[in-house]
């Protein structure tokens, strides 16, 4: 096969979205979300199983109703810098907001992680979902969709420009010539745009993979367009296989229309596999997990996230779903509008909205190891995903998948049997970006020093 499956693991501690009861699991330390050793162990298990990447999600606003993991967790780049020193091959993907970070700071932090890890860093670009984040940064209101996504596109362009500040041979460190830096190979950016003005240059050189990989997760029209323009990896929503195929096809078509190679835009579909000794046992366990997490009050509280952390508890649960569409406009507009539309079309009460949105739906990757491997192969070959972004409840669940399912995928020729590269770009089959200034030299563009 020329096409190979990719696997990433999304690391949570005491329970992310839909895992409200995970903190009660005796297998999970109560401080897992802030225990660096817990993350390091997950990354090492995934690396031993030859996973492509280790992914850390993030947000910067909470209410007491948010999932347990959100309430007390480590900052992603700090976390992954520690993980980098205890791993050798697995990619390290950190989430950071383009809305609430400056491009220069982002460029420096990710370039540093890229060097620390030997070329394994990636930036998951988000525009920040939670409208309340604005008040943590001195702003009265969250930026609107168009502004956030326009800012995100420009931020990525600026960051990539800063990552090219040094050409790859900028540091001769020649004692004979008394020259540490060749100043003709250091370039200021001098960017002036709609959202940013950044002079540069960046004081961090390029890594073995040239630049960190750009990841993105977009469902809205603006998000999909941003993904098609700049993303090299995409974290896609799950859902049914048909829904995943439609998303996959749409993104690949948009990338092609943007003049990009669609094979260089890899789609990782979110999945929460449940592996058991038999199909029946796995489905029993899947139902047990749902029952453990089925906390109505917490689900009601978290529903407000799509509507600017709105408190739905103030409403009668058995009255029609309240008119809150306007509250989603600057936050989770796509998800919020879908909820409002569904409630209106079906005449649902607030209670029914919560129950239908969170009703029991077993993962399509539930069953004995052969069954799970079959499902993964079907999704991959049917064009529903280039890979999976996997979520596991506890370390032993990751270990079981690694020990029982991965060997089956390898036997079928779907997944690697050894790391063939040292960088994340190598794992993903992505080209090393040429330094734009070196390319200009090759094209006989005039070049002066520090330009």
- Domains in the chain, ordered, with CATH? 6-280+365-439 (3.20.20.30), 295-357 (no CATH)
Look at 82 and 17; give whichever has higher pLDDT.
Answer: 82
Query: How high is the pLDDT of residue 441?
Result: 62
Q: Express each pLDDT in 330-384 by its tens digit.
A: 667 778 888 999 999 999 999 999 999 889 999 999 999 999 999 999 999 999 9
With vertex at residue 329, the alpha carbon angle to CA 323 and CA 333, rounded to the nearest 5 degrees, is: 95
CB-based contact 11:42 (threshold 8 Å)? yes
Res 40 pLDDT > 50: yes
> Which residue, among 379, 422, 282, 399, has the nearest Cα to 6 in the 3D structure?
379
Res 119 pLDDT > 70: yes
Listed in sequence order, the residues at least 6 apart from 238 whose beta carbon sits closer than 8 Å to its beta carbon are 244, 269, 270, 271, 363
Please state, in angstroms and rounded to a whole number, the distance separating the CA atoms of residues 312 and 320.
12
Burial 143-160 (b: 16+ CB within 10 A, else e): bebeebbbbbbbbbbbbb
Average pLDDT over residues 301-317: 88
pTM for the model: 0.93
Query: How high is the pLDDT of residue 333?
Result: 74
Least confident of 68-77, 190-199, 298-307: 298-307
Average pLDDT over residues 41-60: 97
Res 306 pLDDT > 90: no
* C-alpha dihedral (133, 136, 142, 145), degrees to nearest 10: -50
Concatenating the DSSP letter of every residue in 121-189 gives EEEEEE--S-GGGGGGGT-SSPPPHHHHHHHHHHHHHHHHHHHTSB-TT----BTTTTBS--GGGB---
Query: How high is the pLDDT of residue 338?
Result: 86
- The share of the chain scoring above pLDDT 90, in percent, equals 78
Res 451 pLDDT > 90: no
Average pLDDT over residues 129-155: 89
Q: Express each pLDDT in 248-302 by its tens digit.
A: 999 999 999 999 999 999 999 999 999 999 999 999 999 999 999 988 988 898 8
Length of the chain: 451
Cis amide prior to 201 (ω within 30 degrees): yes
Please state, in angstroms and rounded to a whole number, the distance separating the CA atoms of residues 128 and 141.
13
- The number of angstroms, rounded, from the C-alpha of 445 to the middle of its chain's C-alpha atoms is 37
């Amino acid at each position: 096969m020329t096409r190979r499956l990719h696997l990433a693991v999304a690391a949570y501690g005491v329970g992310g979205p839909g895992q409200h009861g995970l903190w009660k699991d005796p297998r999970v330390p109560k401080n897992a979300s802030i225990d660096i050793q817990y993350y390091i162990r997950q990354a090492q298990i995934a690396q031993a199983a030859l996973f492509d990447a280790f992914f850390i999600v993030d947000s910067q606003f909470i209410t007491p109703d948010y999932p347990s993991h959100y309430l007390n967790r480590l900052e992603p780049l700090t976390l992954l810098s520690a993980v980098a020193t205890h791993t050798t091959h697995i990619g390290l993907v950190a989430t950071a907001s383009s809305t609430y970070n400056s491009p220069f700071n982002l460029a420096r932090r990710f370039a540093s992680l890229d060097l620390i890890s030997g070329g394994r860093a990636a930036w998951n670009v988000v525009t920040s979902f939670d409208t309340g984040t604005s008040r943590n940064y001195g702003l009265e209101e969250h930026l609107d969709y168009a502004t956030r996504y326009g800012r995100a596109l420009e931020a990525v362009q600026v960051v990539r420009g800063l990552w090219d500040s040094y050409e790859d041979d900028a540091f001769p460190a020649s004692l004979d010539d008394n020259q540490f830096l060749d100043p003709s190979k250091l370039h200021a950016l001098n960017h002036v745009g709609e959202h940013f003005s950044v002079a540069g240059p960046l004081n961090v050189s390029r890594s073995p993979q040239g630049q960190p990989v750009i990841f993105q997760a977009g469902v809205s029209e603006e998000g999909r367009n941003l993904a098609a323009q700049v993303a090299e990896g995409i974290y896609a929503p799950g859902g049914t296989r048909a829904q995943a195929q439609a998303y996959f096809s749409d993104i690949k078509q948009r990338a092609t229309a943007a003049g990009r190679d669609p094979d260089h835009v890899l789609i990782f579909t979110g999945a929460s596999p449940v592996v058991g000794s038999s199909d029946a046992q796995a489905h029993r366990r899947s139902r047990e997990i749902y029952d453990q997490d089925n906390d109505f009050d917490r689900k009601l509280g978290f529903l407000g996230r799509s509507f600017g952390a709105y408190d739905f508890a103030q409403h009668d649960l058995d009255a029609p779903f309240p008119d809150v569409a306007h509250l989603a406009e600057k936050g989770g507009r796509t998800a919020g509008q879908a909820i409002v539309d569904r409630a209106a079309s079906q005449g649902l009460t607030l209670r029914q909205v919560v129950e239908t949105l969170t009703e029991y739906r077993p993962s399509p990757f539930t069953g004995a190891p052969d069954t799970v491997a079959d499902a993964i192969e079907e999704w991959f070959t049917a064009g529903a995903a280039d890979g999976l972004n996997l979520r596991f409840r506890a370390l032993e669940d990751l270990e079981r998948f690694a020990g029982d399912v991965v060997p089956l995928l390898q036997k079928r020729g779907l997944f690697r049997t050894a790391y063939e590269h040292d960088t994340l770009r190598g794992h993903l089959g992505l080209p090393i970006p040429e330094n734009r200034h070196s390319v200009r030299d090759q094209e006989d563009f005039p070049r002066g020093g520090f330009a």
